Structure 1
Amino acid sequence: MTDSAPSSPLTRIRRAGADDVGALALAGAATFLETFAGVLAGDAIVEHCRVQHAPGVYAEWLADSGVAAWLVETADGAAPVGYALVAPPKLVLADLSETDLELKRIYLLSRFHGGGVGRELMQAAVTESHARGAGRLLLGVYAGNARALAFYARNGFRQVGERRFQVGGRLYDDAILALELHR
């Protein structure tokens, strides 16, 4: 995948930069709401989006040289419809290594599922992890999100731990998954 490569006739994926903070925040809140509305408590989702998908959160990430992000847009570049973000890990694992990286976020509006865009986003994250010499790519995922768990399994991830994840002041169970990267 190259920068601004068409990922489908409807979308393109490109590396996100500081000017994309608003688009990432919008895509983050929209995709989180779409994914979890009716699954997690509504007030918890709204609070989570207000805090965790605020533009300032993305601005801090993009200002960090250890973070890489990709934005999925409609083919005309007018609307953000998904994104992925890789960063140094902040997961509690007994065997966490300084060579590990974390796929902190990977989301895509459901209208764009099934066309290979998610796979391309994942490939961008894996390629970046290889380039940085990572031994593993880790992620946390809601343990009740069967669709996401199946996607990660198809991409070679295996469960290596569990954690409790807070959404809007409520705790939920997450699975911690890892993809072993062969150098």
Structure 2
Amino acid sequence: MTCLIRDAIPQDALCIGVLGMQVFLDTYATEGIRSAIAKEALHAFAPESIAQLIAEPGTALIVAEVNNHLVGFAQIQLEAGHALIEAANVAELQRLYIQERFTGRGIGNQLLHAAEQRAASAGAALLWATVWAGNARALGFYPRRGYAVLGAPTYTFQGETHENRLFGKALDATAA
């Protein structure tokens, strides 16, 4: 299986949105669909929302493509600090989404590596990500790739608060 990692283009917005919604629901709607989950999914992954992200300076979307089909994406926000991180020049990995049937094939590693390179080349000294405390797979994924737990913040959407883990990794500027 050959996987192409590339920057997202405006024509990818529809497929990224649908892929993002699928992974979001698989990950967070573990007890079914309720209003808060449905509203968040429809808002966050509307093609118009994704198109805005692709065009937004300081945001990078990187896609994974297999046989001309999108199977995953990474979303990075450059110059994105966090209250629990004292370092300057940090970037946030906002999403690392892989379609379920393509997990365990190294695509997440490839996307994460591309995200780290993008952040480092933009001058970030550290890449951080928050992971929902109920996402066991992601909680194991990041430490295996050199990320340390930096804290346990919460995330609120649609009036609901959820426990997270904050992971961070120092980036090597020479590897960018």
Normalising by structure 2, what TM-score? 0.88
1:27 aligned residue: 19
1:140 aligned residue: 130
2:148 aligned residue: 158
Counterpart residue type for residue 58 of structure 2 = G
2:86 aligned residue: 95
Q: Distance in 2 between matches of 1:28 and 1:160?
A: 26
Of the structure 1 ranges 106-115 and 161-170, higher mean CA displacement relative to structure 2 is found in 161-170
Counterpart residue type for residue 127 of structure 1 = Q
Displacement of 1:116: 0.7
Displacement of 1:128: 0.8
Q: Distance in 1 between matches of 2:131 and 2:16?
A: 19
Counterpart residue type for residue 170 of structure 2 = E
Displacement of 1:26: 1.0
2:112 aligned residue: 122
Counterpart residue type for residue 17 of structure 1 = I
Counterpart residue type for residue 72 of structure 2 = G
- How many residue pairs match? The answer is 172
Displacement of 1:41: 6.1
Displacement of 1:74: 3.3
3-state SS, counterpart of residue 29 of structure 1: helix
Displacement of 1:70: 1.2
2:103 aligned residue: 113
Q: Distance in 1 between matches of 2:26 and 2:10?
A: 25
Pick aligned residue for 2:39 from 47, 60, 63: 47
Q: Distance in 2 between matches of 1:57 and 1:132?
A: 24
Q: Distance in 2 between matches of 1:84 and 1:40?
A: 25
Q: Which runs of 5+ in 1 are unaligned?
A: 1-7
CA offsets per residue over residues 97-119 of structure 1, 9 Å max, x none? 2x100101101011101111110
Contact map agreement 2:125 2:172 (CA 8 A) in 1:
yes
Displacement of 1:40: 7.6
CA offsets per residue over residues 23-79 of structure 1, 9 Å max, x none? 21111111111122325864332221011112222222211221111122331x1x3
Structure 1 stretches of at least 4 aligned residues deviating more than 4 Å after TM superposition = none
Q: Distance in 2 between matches of 1:40 and 1:90?
A: 33
3-state SS, counterpart of residue 106 of structure 1: strand
Distance 1:40 1:144, change over 3 A: farther
Q: Distance in 2 between matches of 1:92 and 1:22?
A: 33
2:170 aligned residue: 180
3-state SS, counterpart of residue 22 of structure 1: helix
Counterpart residue type for residue 44 of structure 2 = Q
